[in-house]
Structure 1
């Protein structure tokens, strides 16, 4: 039994305490790390996330009076109560905007969603670049889909929850995080084409190869809604328009020099375009290595991806750079930041025998630099959203 299944009785008990009744069911959706393919999802590109064992649990029951009540074990302030007919794309409360937005997005496309009581518990670290918001959105959508017998597919729920975050919360995220939460499977990474949402599960058995993937939560909180993320997206869209393509995914590595020449005079957009084009190519190289059983060969591609995110996309920070540099100096196979950036987490691919040495080196170098003590744990490819009770 996983930690998620172990946590379900506690979530049910909390629901009973808050609402005075038994929940209809309990659902879970995971956080994620992205192995490779950063900021490519809103450019119609390629990504490769895997689900974490850390999940957001939702205990839920339907209501017949059009009232939406939201409660979180990790948020102060008690129950947030709203009327579904009154939901508008203005955040009613910081955390509650995400599940409220899901209800709004479902109703916007004509799905017969009414009121509900929901209580949430989560082990997904917030602000760590591990998609705690997508886990919250997807678990809400999955619960409502079951409560109202909507019959939506995981991919459809991912689209609806992305719309909730884009149009209701106001953060212009791509589709990767929600798709990872909805569609990942245990023991696999998800190779996703974000243009048509075609995907396949890629076996990712690191223990079987004597490897481990570490997550280094720098504990530097990132906020995608502060404008920096939107600026990067707008710059990519500007580059695509200038190059006459639907999205930067349509620029191949072979045509990158020509594209950059066309963008002469806009150094910022040049850098953004260079990252997206080379990052898409790195995803394809990683897939080729994994399909051929050359897992260790992806290490340099992870590190190259970090350099591109640091130098061309400018979304790294001192703590992320230190985690990557220290890990590689201590013998890692490869390392890079993961997630939107501006803080959050790094991933480190290591030989199993070197995991403790690399972890200790990172912790010691953070202490020497005066940074907060990082949280280091192993990324275990885990199941996507599901009902647990």
Structure 2
């Protein structure tokens, strides 16, 4: 058996070699250690190796050396018996694969990182091998989500989200007293926040703005990061699933104690949306400028247009399309764009409306069933009354 002194010496040798950038020295010391270990000591050996390598894999200064070291070890029979089957990974190989993926991610070689992380995540031992902690597993999932986003390769994202959610809830459910000291708590917070960011970006990319908002808001509550709150506010403005849910989201932002401080260019518009007021043309441009690259301008502009339409639908029963655009403060929208937007809102049951394309009038009601009750004569009378009122005040709007 290896003596405790020689074991400690071998780990110190590996550590020093990595700090110096001596990959060959780290490989030699590791090989010497694994060959001296008895069969029943292998699990402990690989656990210690993992604890030595992982901090260096996470550090930019030493990650490159870890890559060289682990690449050399990966193909050796002492570390992995089968290099072709993902599900055949032993627990020992899982640890080495996690270290290698972490180091690749640190040096931004995401194409290589995701290969190893996906192999780890798909292994039958991913949830069962006790050498990996829940935080190790969540960090693996997070790297998969990040690499998938950056590389625009969604192959593994759904699996990562599914596994990540169960891991996140198990970690979040642990009492603070069970976590350990300050360093352990900082590590836990960093891993959880990184996951919440990637989860929010994943949901945002799929236009699931309600759940993206929830991810970003929790991220802000945990990290006090201003960018996370800004992302949450923008997603709240884009929620289209349900007006009540959007109002609840906007309320959460508006009542956040740090919102006015962290959202100097957005807070006013969150309050405006929450109060059910119209966005003027200048308001829309200010929101787009504040959003920067966080959201595509076309998506955000359409969300603000929908907000204005919902507000005006509560005011008008029947309105000419160009008049509606004037009230929206949106002279740039075309008739077909407006109709397409209203049709999508009707299909998603955000409003109830009927478009009379022959006359250009839009009729709003409180429910879909009300349209069935309106006869052609009723519709004609509504349109005639609206046209007469518009003709008295703004006759130019009826010129088409």
**Normalising by structure 2, what TM-score?**
0.26
Q: Which has the higher helix share?
A: 2
| Bigger radius of gyration | 2
Q: Which has the higher strand share?
A: 1
**Normalising by structure 1, what TM-score?**
0.27
Greater RCO (Cα-Cα under 8 Å, separation 6 or more): 1
